[in-house]
């Protein structure tokens, strides 16, 4: 009996060891499979070097939510009529509707700050090389389409208060459709809906701002957001768990951003509202200096130094050139610009040049400003022509 008991005990021990070995093998297999196979977002891992610069995408999404909510409240009282639009914004909403001024400030500041965040997000992506390899080209394409759609949304919204600056800025921009020496006046008339900017024009841009472009932006946002499943490999990288750290850091950074945002809303909202736009439209009185909102100034300045036809070509190319960054960058590297030789100088020159163009766009094109604008515009064109050349001979890092 004792001998039989020992045999049974040995058999149990052998079975237990076999089970533990199988479990270890299965655990190792699952670990290897987990490291290379698609995983849920809750298991997604991201760089521990996470800060506001890397959170601009989510901050921009929050800003768009603020735009949507404030826009709905403003829509309740806005009247898309050339005789009442100005009063509905500057009197009804700003003085008669309780907290109407707050919703307008939120909407205006969000539109302006949203562009600032969008530009930061775009340049950070270029700096870090996150626009190519690993399927990132698709994200970059959707992002550039979002920039164009957001620009159209902002421009159409700028028309709605029917103020003096919005009227004349709209007149300048729609005249661009004439094509310079091509004199496509029929196309300009089609865009405006009339020979002059009147009720048909306001109706069209109201429809674009409220219905068409927001729908396009929502579709592009769905396309732009990363997929729910992604492949990850954690070996050799300093990473942090997505669900554990990302949400907490994201919420903290968004909270800090909202403090800054509402400081602007209550105390420094003037930068997002042009003073001349508080004057009612007068088709017989042209402002001394016509210019768009600050986020369009760099491209507006590219239009001014050249003859009309060449200026239109440069202006048109500037609106779509960022779409082609992955194709123009011939380098095999997808790393930070600081590790990429001449490309890092190209990046900083482009950034500084666009800032200079933005400042010049609000100044009258005379004297020194005109010469500086021409130089900055030529530098902009030269930088984009040089990009394929300097990246083609870049050594692999």
The residue ranges of every structural domain in the chain are 37-290, 296-397
CA-to-CA dists, residue 114 to 106, 108, 119, 196, 230, angstroms: 11, 10, 9, 31, 28
**Least confident span in 49-53, 54-58, 93-97:** 49-53
- Of the pLDDT bands very low, low, confident and very high (cuts 50, 70, 90), residue 52 is low
Asked if pLDDT for residue 244 goes beyond 70, the answer is: no
Q: Tens of pLDDT along 176-185?
A: 999 888 889 9
pLDDT in tens, 338-349: 888 899 999 999
What backbone torsions phi and psi does residue 47 show, to the nearest 5 degrees?
A: -60, 135
Least confident piece of the model among 204-213, 242-251, 267-276: 242-251
pLDDT band of residue 49 (cuts 50, 70, 90) is: low
Q: How far apart are CA 313 and CA 182, in angstroms?
A: 13
Question: Going by CATH, does the domain composed of 37-290 fall within 3.10.180.10?
Answer: no
Question: Per-residue pLDDT tens for 300-359?
Answer: 999 999 999 999 999 999 999 999 999 999 988 888 888 888 999 999 999 999 999 999
Token readout for 376 is: 């900055």
pLDDT in tens, 1-23: 444 444 444 444 444 444 444 44
The count of residues in the chain is 397
Tell me the pLDDT tens digit for each residue of 81-128.
Answer: 999 999 999 999 999 999 999 999 999 999 999 999 999 989 989 998
Q: What is the pLDDT of residue 103?
A: 95
């Amino acid at each position: 009996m004792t001998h039989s008991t020992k045999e049974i005990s040995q058999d149990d021990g052998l079975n237990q060891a076999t089970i533990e070995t199988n479990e270890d093998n299965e655990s190792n297999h699952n670990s290897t499979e987990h490291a290379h196979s698609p995983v849920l977002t809750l298991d997604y891992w991201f760089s521990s070097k996470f800060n506001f610069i890397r959170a601009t995408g989510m901050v921009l999404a929050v800003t768009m939510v603020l735009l949507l909510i404030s826009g709905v409240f403003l829509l309740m009282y806005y009247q898309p009529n050339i005789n009442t639009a100005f009063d509905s914004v500057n009197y009804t909403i700003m003085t008669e509707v309780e907290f109407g001024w707050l919703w307008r400030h939120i909407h205006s500041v969000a539109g302006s700050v949203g562009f600032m965040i969008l530009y930061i997000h775009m340049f950070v992506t270029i700096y870090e090389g996150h626009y190519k390899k690993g399927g990132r080209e698709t994200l970059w394409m959707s992002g550039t389409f979002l920039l164009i759609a957001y620009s159209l949304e902002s421009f159409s919204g700028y028309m709605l208060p029917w103020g003096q600056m919005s009227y004349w800025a709209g007149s300048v921009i729609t005249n661009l459709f004439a094509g310079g020496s091509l004199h496509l006046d029929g196309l300009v008339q089609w865009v405006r809906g009339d020979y002059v900017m009147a009720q048909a024009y306001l109706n069209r841009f109201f429809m674009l701002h409220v219905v068409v472009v927001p729908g396009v932006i929502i579709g592009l946002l769905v396309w732009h957001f990363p997929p729910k499943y992604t492949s990850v490999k954690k070996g050799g990288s300093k990473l942090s768990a997505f669900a554990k750290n990302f949400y907490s850091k994201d919420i903290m950074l968004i909270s800090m951003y909202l403090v800054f945002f509402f400081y602007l809303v209550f105390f420094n909202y003037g930068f997002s509202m042009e003073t001349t736009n508080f004057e009612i439209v007068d088709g017989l009185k042209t402002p001394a200096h016509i210019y768009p909102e600050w986020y369009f100034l760099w491209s507006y300045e590219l239009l001014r130094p050249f003859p009309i036809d060449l200026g239109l070509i440069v202006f048109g190319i500037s609106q779509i050139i960022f779409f082609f960054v992955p194709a123009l960058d011939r380098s095999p590297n997808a790393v930070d610009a600081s590790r990429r030789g001449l490309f890092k100088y190209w990046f900083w020159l482009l950034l500084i040049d666009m800032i200079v163009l933005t400042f010049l766009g609000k100044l009258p094109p005379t004297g020194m400003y005109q010469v500086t604008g021409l130089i900055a515009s030529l530098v902009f064109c030269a930088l984009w022509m040089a990009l394929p050349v300097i990246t083609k001979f870049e050594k692999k890092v």
